[in-house]
Amino acid sequence: MRSRIAIASLLILVIVSCNNNNQHQAISPRVNHVMLYVSDLEKSIQFYTQAFDFEVTNWLDTLIATQPDGTELVRPVKMAFLKFPNQDFVFELSEQVADTTNRPVAFLFQHVGIDVQDIDAAFSRAMGAGAEALLPVRVVKAKGIEAKQAFVGGPDGERVELMQIMAGEF
């Protein structure tokens, strides 16, 4: 859980630094990827491809890191990269020892958000793929944005927000 929070915090810092054009030139115009640890890579791939139309674009079993002194560090890994068709965003899954930290269901701020066209159909499809219902479909409003939203839990309890924008934009 600590690593998920650290990744989310790093992602927020990158986004904030990219949006602060008055002091720094933007590092990148978009977020490249999000990575989650999972306990069973095949099970998670099956869930995300069935529930949300992700496609597996790459599998990694070895990672080679060249150190500053030129030596190579070879590390076995079990990772997969998933993408939505015709999109560049990468959803990276890495099989690791499962985190046994229990968080209350109300702690939904750390999550992966997926835009959908029909939230009721998307919610049903996720449930059919094995998701856990965390929050049912509801309408949320904030600063000119109105959306239908629901939260489901993935195979390792990760939170996935389904969002159908009704009006406004982020």
pLDDT in tens, 4-34: 444 444 444 344 444 444 455 555 566 667 8
pLDDT of residue 26: 56
| Percent of the chain residues past pLDDT 70, beyond the cut | 73
pLDDT of residue 43: 95
Domain tally, the chain: 1
157 Ramachandran zone, left/alpha/beta (phi>0; psi -120 to 50):
left
pLDDT of residue 143: 78
Query: Directed axis angle between helix 41-52 and helix 119-128, to 10°?
Result: 150
Q: What CATH code is carried by the domain that includes residue 109? A: 3.10.180.10
pLDDT of residue 72: 83
The torsion defined by the Cα of 91, 93, 99 and 101, in degrees rounded to 10, comes to: 10
**pLDDT tens digits along 90-136:** 898 999 875 556 555 444 457 888 889 999 999 999 999 999 999 88
DSSP-derived letter for residue 131 is: P
- Of 127, 51, 55, nearest to 93 by C-alpha is 55
Confidence class of residue 78 from pLDDT cuts 50, 70 and 90?
Answer: very high
* pLDDT at 165 exceeding the cut of 70: yes
- Parent domain of 145: 2-167
